[in-house]
Amino acid sequence: MSENKIVILGAGAAGLGAAHRLDDEGIRATIYEKHGFTGGHAASFEQNGFIFDDGPHISFTEDERIRKLFHESVGFEVESFSAQANNYWQGHYIKHPAQVNLHGLPEDFVVKIIKEMFEVKVQEKPEINNYRDWLYASFGKTFSETFPMMYGKKFHTLHASLMDTDWIGPRLYQADMDEVLHGALSKHTPDVHYIKQFYYPTHGGFVRFFDGFLDKADVQLSHEVTRIETKEKMLQFASGQVAGYDNLISSLPLPELIALMDDVPDHVREASLQLACSTCVIVNVGVDRENLSEAHWTYFYDEDIIFTRISYPHMQSPNNVPSGCGSVQMEIYFSKKYKPLTNKPESYIQPAIDDLIKCKILNEEDKILFSEARVAPYANVIFDLDRIRCLEIVHGYLDELGIRYCGRFGEWGYHWTDGSFISGENAAQKILDL
């Protein structure tokens, strides 16, 4: 084992961020990645001329430095868009966010929503104990129960009363009553989504944004870590190989990291297992038509529509599809803790296509050229009421051992690729500061 060997687990955004920071200081780390490809959660796959990312990925970072790094990776061959998102509810398509785009929905329903929104604005603020309380206090009952609570149930897989509020940030637009009224009277409203401008590589899918970091470390693919001996500072791999480290940075999901480690106290192991996240069945479809949608992505609120959100990779880059074709990516959510996935992922393909037809995105005549279902076991962190307590226990234990954690599932937070990359850089910085 060489002196001061820094090992990074995982070659996703966070692992590559850590490698990049160390490389800046002239330190070459080793990355061990279980898959035979890099990019982790933001990997891209090409089949039959269709490119799909591992769930919809666009870059909307507001961090100039990260944007420049990502764009440099692809030689500045980047597609740039002004984001258009909409909502589907009971046969109606309205612009996103719904609270300022109620125009076109049934009149009595809109009046009820607006009356309740007025009421909560003038009421004394109630005590907020969970996401449901926050929604009621922000939007009133009818809007909350029709839109964000329904969406939350489909996306986060649990009832809003079981969720915390520490993840909300800019994700739910807080409108003033003028905006609500304008949006109820006219369908021409300003764009107020928190994603305004987004970028996507012209060629090769989202993962190309990471190309510039692949030579920043010694990247060992197909190296699945199966055991970590923390006292001896040794890693074992599925192949039977072993390797040592002096400093370890992990971007692995915390429950997986803890499961690999020897001698973990029971309460830490139990806490790691209480950390909840969603699992996403991603249904990808390629069709012989490209004019499928005006919006780049759509949110679905109805319980009887199988998917929660859909997006259109062919609108992110024309090179994501064969000429003249279109593509649709659908997300269907489950979670081990609240809504286990029990069926085979492939069983969701036909129901998803049927719902595309029901929502008038596809028609019966469209020819399906490609379809597949993939599973992202770790999709989004679920901000349930156990999260903060369990996270403190797990992070506290890793801190004691000096193991640095980073990324979406190392920090167990709401990181996008830019946040994950920076989180990796920060983990590396902690080692540099030793």
Ligand X SMILES: Cc1cc2nc3c(=O)[nH]c(=O)nc-3n(C[C@H](O)[C@H](O)[C@H](O)COP(=O)(O)OP(=O)(O)OC[C@H]3O[C@@H](n4cnc5c(N)ncnc54)[C@H](O)[C@@H]3O)c2cc1C
Which pair of structure tokens corresponds to residue 413? 């937070």
DSSP 313-327: HHHH-GGGSSTT-EE
Shortest distance, CB of residue 134 to ligand X, whole angstroms? 23
Shortest distance, CB of residue 106 to ligand X, whole angstroms? 31
Q: Which is nearer to ligand X, 132 or 208 (CB)?
A: 208
Query: Cα separation of 257 and 401, whole Å?
Result: 13
**Which of 19, 51, 52, 57 contacts ligand X by CB under 6 A?**
57
Residue among 141, 133, 126, 124 at smallest CA distance from 164: 133
Shortest distance, CB of residue 311 to ligand X, whole angstroms? 9
Query: Cα separation of 38 and 222, whole Å?
Result: 10
**Which of 5, 23, 27, 35 contacts ligand X by CB under 6 A?**
35
**Which of 19, 33, 334, 356 contacts ligand X by CB under 6 A?**
33
Q: Which stretch binds ligand X (CB under 6 A): 21-29, 128-136, 211-219, 402-410?
A: 402-410
- Report the phi/psi class of residue 90: left, alpha or beta, with left for phi > 0 and alpha for psi in -120 to 50: left
Interaction between residue 193 and ligand X (CB under 6 A): no
Q: How many CB atoms lie within 10 A of CB 195?
A: 20
Interaction between residue 51 and ligand X (CB under 6 A): no
Residue 402 CB partners (closer than 8 Å, separation 6+): 247, 248
Alpha helices (H) along 317-386: 349-358
Q: Which stretch binds ligand X (CB under 6 A): 55-63, 79-87, 110-118, 338-346?
A: 55-63
**Which of 73, 101, 251, 335 contacts ligand X by CB under 6 A?**
251
Task: Write the binding mask 266 to 305 for ligand X: x where contact by CB under 6 A, - elsewhere.
Answer: --------------x-------------------------
Residue 280 CB partners (closer than 8 Å, separation 6+): 55, 331, 332, 333, 334, 375, 376, 379, 380
**Which of 135, 248, 417, 428 contacts ligand X by CB under 6 A?**
417
Contact 120, 136 (CB under 8 A): yes
Shortest distance, CB of residue 278 to ligand X, whole angstroms? 8
Q: Which stretch binds ligand X (CB under 6 A): 76-84, 318-326, 342-350, 405-413?
A: 405-413
Query: Cα separation of 327 and 236, whole Å?
Result: 41
DSSP 5-55: -EEEE--SHHHHHHHHHHHHTT--EEEE-SSSSS-GGG-EEEETTEEEESS
Question: How many of the chain's residues bind ligand X (CB under 6 A)?
Answer: 37
Shortest distance, CB of residue 197 to ligand X, whole angstroms? 13
Q: Which stretch binds ligand X (CB under 6 A): 11-19, 142-150, 290-298, 389-397?
A: 11-19
**Which of 408, 422, 427, 431 contacts ligand X by CB under 6 A?**
408
Q: Where are the beta strands (DSSP E) in 245-357?
A: 247-250, 278-287, 297-300, 309-311, 326-335
Window 308-347: residues binding ligand X (CB under 6 A): 331
Query: Cα separation of 158 and 152, whole Å?
Result: 7
Interaction between residue 41 and ligand X (CB under 6 A): yes
Residues in contact with ligand X by CB under 6 A are 9-15, 32-35, 40-42, 55-59, 224-225, 251-252, 256, 280, 331, 376, 379-380, 407-409, 415-418, 420
